[in-house]
Structure 1
Amino acid sequence: MAETATPAETANVDHVRAARRSPGQHLAEAFASGSVPGTVTLTEIPYQTMVGIRVDRESDGGARVASLTGGLPAACGEVTGAGSINSLWLGPAEFLVVAPEEAHDSLCGSLVADLTAALGSDPGQVVDLSANRTTYELSGSRARAVLEKTCSLDLHPRVFKAGTALATELAHIPVLLWKTGEESYRVFPRASFADFLGRWILDAMREYASPEVP
């Protein structure tokens, strides 16, 4: 059973939340006005907990880490998960764990500490990367068309299936691209590129926001 946060812990959480500014926060109004529900919509999902893992998935440490994350991907593009915690494949022994913001240790969560404890003294690495990237969600019937303007991946649904995540580039910016549904994608740019990429995606959406587009 989860412990109830003390008043001091609650005050600290409130302070952390108030102090944060997401990399795409200043674009929220532009995203909303440039989106057409059902056709193409762009939003930011800020402050997700992200943890970089380096571990041999076949080792004891890998097995303990996998027990917390719902498994570790075995192949390029694979995504594993247990509920709201998902692991994306970055390499044969490198993974990105993505979870809701509440899982972060600074908000009375314990994901980073739990993964560090699970790895123990086994070879590997657990690194908090939550501030390294933000998350853009692009969805709608024209979402794939927007991405295809610059992405070199074959995004046809026969090839790039829902539940797949791959490293690629959008507008020459390195990103992770995760197809979360048939018409929905999550894009993970590094924070320093978030402004440029957000504006580029918004511009690429513009033709589909026209009333002349069926």
Structure 2
Amino acid sequence: MTADLYGASPLAARADALARHSAPEGVQGVRIAEVPFTAQVALRVDPRGGAAERIGTALGAALPGRPGQVARTDRVLVLGLGPDEWLVVGSEGTAPELQDTLTAALDGAHGAVVDVSAHRTIVRVSGPKARDLLNTGCALDLHPRVFGADQCAQTLLARAAVILLCRETDPADFWVFVRASYARYLADWLIDATEFDG
């Protein structure tokens, strides 16, 4: 008998409802779905030190120099959350490998590497009306000239603290990182907002 490493994702119980309130592929509208079980590793390090440069080399992309910037490689996204804070996002099951890579690159320098994969889930909101839907509950200007691809922000969406990532602008494709304890609330809000939008 093998153990279930994850159990159910935070939005497993809302998957059918999200699917019902999403436009089918190719149809104008909005699609909402969970992106469960991504690897998420929090990183704190002095951006001016040698460790930051070693980490960039190990990841294959320099750490974003400013909060809100995002770096991409073929295996990770690196979100700039603060002057010395990043979130490294990888595919399911890669958190231990990412932790080892980041810790080795720190090489004893002052910093922190913490697996926070269980802390948040991701809700993908995509399609031509995705930006309009998010703007009903978020005070940020999400126009692509202001908040374009490979940009992120810590903000509030429907009063829930989230990290908002714009992956693509045409068509709009956003990832909303939300604490697991708020995921069902946010999913229900998104469902209600799609009904109101009609």
Q: What's the TM-score once normalised by structure 1's chain length? A: 0.85
The alignment-based identity, stated in percent, is: 38
Considering only CA atoms, is the larger Rg found in Structure 1 or Structure 2?
Answer: 1
Q: 13, 35, 40: which one pairs with 1:45?
A: 35
Equivalent AA in structure 2 for residue 86 of structure 1: L
Post-superposition offset of 1:117:
1.5
Post-superposition offset of 1:56:
1.2
Unaligned stretches of 5+ in structure 1?
1-10
Structure 1 position 186 matched with structure 2 position 170: no
Post-superposition offset of 1:15:
3.0
Other-structure match for 1:201: 190
Q: What's the TM-score once normalised by structure 2's chain length? A: 0.92
Point out the structure with the larger strand share: 2
SS in 1 for 2:47: coil
Aligned length in residues:
192
The aligned runs of 1:139-178 (5 Å cut-off) are: 139-178=126-165
Q: 40, 45, 63: which one pairs with 1:72?
A: 63
Structure 1 position 123 matched with structure 2 position 110: yes
Post-superposition offset of 1:48:
0.3
The aligned runs of 1:102-121 (5 Å cut-off) are: 102-105=93-96, 110-121=97-108
Other-structure match for 1:8: none
The aligned runs of 1:53-72 (5 Å cut-off) are: 53-69=43-59, 70-72=61-63
Post-superposition offset of 1:68:
2.5
Deviations 1:110-160 (A, max 9, x none): 111221121121011000000010000000111011111110101111111
Q: Residues 71 and 87 of structure 1 are in contact (CA less than 8 Å); yes or no, is this contact kept in structure 2?
A: no
Unaligned stretches of 5+ in structure 2?
none
Point out the structure with the larger helix share: 1
Q: Residues 41 and 95 of structure 2 are in contact (CA less than 8 Å); yes or no, is this contact kept in structure 1?
A: no
Q: 89, 92, 96: which one pairs with 1:101?
A: 92
Post-superposition offset of 1:104:
2.6
SS in 2 for 1:15: coil
Distance 1:92 1:200 in 2: 32
Equivalent AA in structure 2 for residue 204 of structure 1: A
CA RMSD of aligned residues (A): 1.5
